[in-house]
Structures are given as C-alpha cells and as structure tokens.
Amino acid sequence: MHMSDALISPAVGVSMIAVSGVALAYSVLKTKQMNVLEDRTVPVMGVMSAFVFAAQMINFTIPGTGSSGHIGGGILLAALLGAYPGMISIAAVLLIQCLFFADGGLLALGCNIFNMGVLSCLVAYPLIFKPILKRGITKPKLLLASVLSVVVGLQLGAFAVVLETLVSGITSLPFRSFLLMMQPIHLAIGLVEGIVTGAILVFVYQARPELLEGALNRTKMNHVVPVRKFVIGALIATILVAGGLSLLASANPDGLEWSIGKVTGSEELSASGPVYTIVEWIQSKTAVMPDYSTGATSSAVSTSSAGLLGGGIVLALATGTAFVISKTKKKHKDAIPDAE
C-alpha cells in the first residue's frame, strides 16, 4: 500500500510529512523516556526491521481477484518491540524502500509512514492488540489480537489513502468508487497478514515469551534471558526470505494498484508540475535499486541481491538508530546527580 506521488497534492504531501515527522519524534522521545532499549535488545530491533523489509517483498495472491498483497509489519514490530520502537522501525523500513528502491513516492513518504506505521503501531496496537492480551497471553488470544489489530490497522490505512486522495483533489479517483474498491480488498489482505503475523508471534512466544511480555508491559527483559539465538534465527529467516522466497512474489498488482486500476482503467496515475519534477529527480538519484533490481543479467540474482542488500541497509539503520537512542538515554541518566 505504498502511495506514489501522483496520488497526492504537494500540500497534502508536505502536511503528512510534518504529521509523520511529529509522530516519529514523539516515538523517539517516548522510547527514551521508557528506557526499554538496551545493548541486548538493540539487535532485536535491527533484525526485526530487516525481516519486515524482506517480508514486504513477498506479494501473496488474493484468490479470485487478480490482486495481491504483502504484510505491512507494523503490528508485528509493535508486538515484539513495543508501540514506539515499532513505529521507529517501520519508518526506517519505509524510508529505505523509498530512497533506495523507489517503492513509494518521496513526496508521499509522510502519507506512507502515517498509513502503515502510525495507524498500526500507535492506534491499532494500543487500542486493540494490548487490551486483548491485558489479562495474560495465550496462543488463541495472541492469534485473535493479531488478526483483529492487523485488519483494523489496514482498514484505517486504506481509508486514509482514500481521504488523502480526496483532499488532494484527485478527481480521477472519486471518493465512493475508490472507497468501495479499497476497503474490501484490504480486508482480504489484512486477514492473510493477520494470520501470518499471529503464527509468527505464537512461534516467538513459544521460544522467547519475554520478548512479547516485555513489549506488552513496557519493561526490559531480565538480564538472564538470552536473545542471541533469537537474533541469529531471525537473521537467518531474513536472509532466506530476502534472498529466496522473494522470488516467489505474485506478479499481480497490489491492493492499491488494483483498486486504482478498477476505478480508472490504469494501475498508475501521472502528475505534472515543478514539485513532482523535483522529487522525481531526487528519487531517481537516490534509488540505486529501483523496483528491487540491481541490474544483474539474471532477474533472480537481481531480485535476491537487491533484497539482501536492502535488508542489510535496513538492519544497519534500525540498529544504529536503536543504539543511539539507548546510549543517549544512558548518558542523560548518568548526567543527573543522585539525590542525597
């Protein structure tokens, strides 16, 4: 559900960049205040961000529609890291996708972070996922929480896309027609993503329940709990998904492209004007692997190498960000003298 620049006006694009920027800054501040990141959990944030990047490369077919979908990953990240670190992680994923792969417009980056990050991590997770598990985590409740929160988050995100195009004055996408396409297809996508998210979280809960419990209760993990095996396992899974399973992605248009095609007859819209020309030029310079391709002769090698390189970049960015946040909090805490 990555929006292109042609779907929004410059005013809406700039406004949503500001809104998402505030949400991201607030998430960083809250992460510092809660002091939930430490040396042992920083790699978890990095490797899970890389895993979500890799998983988003796999589009699964929605039977009988000619459409496809991919996981958003917001609820998965929030469940394992907490709402605010999860928000930071999904923003890192979307930033790298936009800059290095031209997946989602640069002008539309704020919309994409809001639609896929803010609404999942800061709305659906605290209002739906957490209350379901408030009285204790069980496998059935974990699966229920995953499905409901993913579906709601994705429905809100799809509706936000429709509103953003409406406010932008995109007349080729009439509100009612676009809405009637967007909501049902993203309901189907959300159900699949919810089940996948639930299955992953059940597996993690069996192996390392402290991860989910810590994120749910906003507490650090006990120092005797090892995370090395989890990080290594998640890293291996990321490599397998990015380098191998990504080749099995459906060629069908995703839910947003499919909806646009049903309404306009074309899966992509175009826009003209100086602002669009500038952001397109900037993105053409930063996107060294457009459409997840390194330009290798073999398409399989090209996609796999792009996935592995992209996962590595996301891993580095998310890990580095988490490390800086954890160290900044520690320095600030050490600078405050103890009360006598």
Domain 5-330: which topology?
Arp2/3 complex 21 kDa subunit ARPC3 (1.10.1760)
In this structure, how many other beta carbons lie within 10 angstroms of the beta carbon of residue 184? 15
Which of 18-22, 66-70, 296-300 is predicted with the least confidence, judged by mean pLDDT?
Answer: 296-300
Q: Are 105 and 279 in contact (CB under 8 A)?
A: yes
> Are 211 and 82 within 8 A, CB to CB?
no
**pLDDT reading at 250 higher than 50:** yes
Residue carrying structure tokens 């959990």: 41
pLDDT value for 130: 94
By mean pLDDT, which of 59-73, 128-142, 289-303 is the weakest? 289-303
Cα atoms in the 13 Å half-sphere on the side-chain side of 212: 27
Kindly write down the DSSP assignment for every residue of 29-97, as one continuous string: HHHHHHT---TTTHHHHHHHHHHHHHHTT-PEEETTTTEEE----HHHHHHHH-HHHHHHHHHHHHHHH
Confidence of residue 268 (pLDDT cuts 50, 70, 90): confident
Answer yes or no: are the C-beta atoms of 79 and 201 closer than 8 Å: yes
Q: Could you tell me where the beta strands, DSSP code E, fall in the chain?
A: 60-62, 67-69
Q: pLDDT per residue over 19-62, tens digit each?
A: 999 999 999 999 888 776 665 678 889 999 999 999 999 999 99
Pair of tokens at residue 119: 């609404």
The vertex-252 CA angle with 250 and 254, nearest 5°, equals 100
- Contact indicator for 321, 48 with CB cutoff of 8 Å: no
Predicted pLDDT at 211: 84
Predicted local confidence at residue 336, as pLDDT: 43
Average pLDDT rounded to a whole number, residues 1-20: 96
Work out the angle between the directed axes of helices 74-81 and 175-207 (0-180°, nearest 10): 30
Rounded to whole angstroms, how far apart are CA atoms 125 and 82? 9
More confident residue, 278 or 246: 278
60 φ, ψ to 5°? -100, 145
The DSSP bridge partners found for residue 62 are 67
Question: Comparing 24 with 291, which gets the higher pLDDT?
Answer: 24
Is residue 243 within 8 Å of residue 233, measured between CB atoms? no
Residue-level pLDDT at 335 = 47
The partner residues of 69 in beta bridges, in order of sequence, read 60
98: which 2 tokens? Answer: 């936009």
Q: What's this model's pTM, rounded to 2 decimal places? A: 0.92
- Residue 254's DSSP bridge partners are 68
- Which residue type sits at 49? S
The pLDDT, as a whole number, for residue 95 is 97
Rounded to whole angstroms, the Cα distance separating 246 from 135 reads 38
Tell me the backbone φ, ψ of residue 136, rounded to 5 degrees: 130, 150
Please write the tens of the pLDDT for every residue from 255-267: 999 999 999 999 8
User: Tell me, what's the pLDDT at 217?
Assistant: 79
Is 42 buried (19+), middle (13-18) or exposed (0-12) by CB count in 10 A? Answer: buried
Task: Report d(CA 172, CA 179) in Å as an integer.
Answer: 13
Query: What residue segments make up the domains of the chain, in order of their start?
Result: 5-330
State the sign of the Cα–Cα–Cα–Cα dihedral 23, 28, 31, 34: negative
Distance separating alpha carbons of residues 322 and 316, to the nearest angstrom: 10
Average pLDDT over residues 240-254: 89
Q: Percent of the chain having pLDDT more than 90?
A: 72
In contact, 13 and 111? CB cutoff 8 Å: yes
Q: What percent of the chain has pLDDT over 70?
A: 93
Alpha-carbon gap, residue 154 to 116, rounded angstroms: 7
Distance from C-alpha of 294 to C-alpha of 149, rounded to nearest angstrom? 35
